[in-house]
Amino acid sequence: MIRRLIALAIICLITPTVVQARPVSYTGGWTFIETSNRLSTAGLLHYTINPKVSLGLRHERMRDADIDMTMAQGTWLVKRWFGKDYQANVYTMAGAGTISDNSGMSSIQETGSFLGVMADWETRSKFVSYESRFLDKGALGSQSMHAARVGWAPYEGDTGSLHTWLMVEIDHREQLKEDTTVTPLVRFFKGAALLELGYNLTDPSPLINFTYRF
Amino acid sequence: MKYLLTALLVASLPIGVSANDHHGSMDHSMEGHDHASMNHDDHDHAAMNHDDHDHSAMEHSGHDMSPKHALLTRTSDIDKALMAGGQPVVVDVLGVVCDFCATAMNKIFGKRQEVAAVYVDLDKKTLSLALQAGKTLSDQDIEKLAEQAGYRIAAIRRDSEAIGG
């Protein structure tokens, strides 16, 4: 366990971010999710208490706005559909915590909260998802995000082999100048680790997401 | 960055997949097509188009003994456990589409002292178990464990039904 925590800390240092692919795991499982996109870098470490609920701690840094948020997050698997060849899920998530705006001469502290919904459908070679989040930053304002993805796997990897997906993500953030952007990305998936690398073509910036289950 | 993306796309080609292909000698031709004992709640076959696998019109010469259901996937750990007298169990699992699913079931079932070896086969959508000699896991226990992993089972087969003997 100590070696895993050290590995996790190293990952956090190398990739100063954190959070969201399959936000509820198996009972008793830990998951670390890191996300880094054109706006922010975020990380979520969560523990799944039962097959429908995970609880975790999330930290997000909005790089340009110089805002840091640390929040407790709960995720609820509302519904999972099982098929012989597919799986579909609807999740809701909510969090609350502190927000620090460091852009001025002195830091402003606020309490904040967010609410989100996520849905996905996937087979071994096709993937569709949608995610929406609303963030209330108290006196610092609010913002919303919508993102949709489609993906295709050029081959079906078996257990433990390298799985590869080609995906396109479209995100919409009405508070930004470039409100709608397109990001092609590649997802690599092997065992308990998932890595996504992409590049936002509309608002040039890299996308780096990483998920690890243990 | 364009070059990086191109390199990533090239890297995504299915190189090395065959290195993990442990099914080369197995006959999967009849897998998943006779589901008499399975839970069909989630996939109503009455409304499905079965044209693409009409077995009555297929040439079956050379594999008359093909199993109607997926058999136990053999790994060295499973073989070792079977040699030691463990019971083989194969479970059809619904919703298994990725390695996270496999990881979840490996972790949940692997923790049980009754389980000597476990393998999740994404191609066959099965969970293969070899139990410890003299131990057993009830169907209800298997169902509960699969639920803890986040999945649902469709059928359980044991002993000769699991290994096709």
pLDDT in tens, B11-47: 444 433 333 333 333 333 334 344 444 444 444 444 4
Check: CB of residue A200 under 8 Å from CB of residue A186. Answer: no
How many domains, chain B? 1
Tell me whether residue B27 is in a domain.
no
Which residue on chain A is closest to B35 by alpha carbon? A84
- Which residue out of B21, B98, B111, B119 would a mutagenesis test of the A interface target, given it has the greatest number of A Cβ atoms within 10 Å? B98
The model's confidence at residue A109, banded by pLDDT at 50, 70 and 90, is very high
For residue A123, which residues of chain B lie inside 8 Å, CB to CB? 97
Tens of pLDDT, residue by residue over B46-103, are 444 444 444 444 444 444 455 678 899 999 999 999 999 999 999 999 988 888 889 8
The answer to whether domain A2-213 has CATH 3.40.50.1110 is no
Tell me whether residue B97 is in a domain.
yes
| Domain spans in chain A, listed from the N-terminal domain onward | 2-213
Tell me whether residue B4 is in a domain.
no
Which residue on chain B is closest to A189 by alpha carbon? B99
Please tell me the predicted confidence (pLDDT) of residue A51. Answer: 92
The model's confidence at residue A1, banded by pLDDT at 50, 70 and 90, is low
Angle of helix B99-110 relative to helix B139-149, nearest 10 degrees, comes to 130
Tell me whether residue B154 is in a domain.
yes
CATH of the domain at B116: 3.30.70.100
- Which residue out of A82, A87, A196 would a mutagenesis test of the B interface target, given it has the greatest number of B Cβ atoms within 10 Å? A82
Distance CA A63, CA A60 (A): 9
Tell me whether residue B76 is in a domain.
no
Q: Which domain holds residue B128?
A: 85-163
Q: Is the ipTM here above 0.85?
A: no
Distance CA B144, CA B112 (A): 12
Tell me whether residue B145 is in a domain.
yes
Tell me whether residue B159 is in a domain.
yes
Shortest distance, CA A49 to any CA of chain B (angstroms): 10
Tell me whether residue B14 is in a domain.
no
pTM: 0.74
- Helix, strand, coil shares of chain B as percentages rounded to 5? 35, 15, 50
For residue B99, which residues of chain A lie inside 8 Å, CB to CB? 157, 159-160, 163, 189-192
Test B95 with A80 for CB contact under 8 angstroms: yes
Whether pLDDT at A120 is above 90: yes
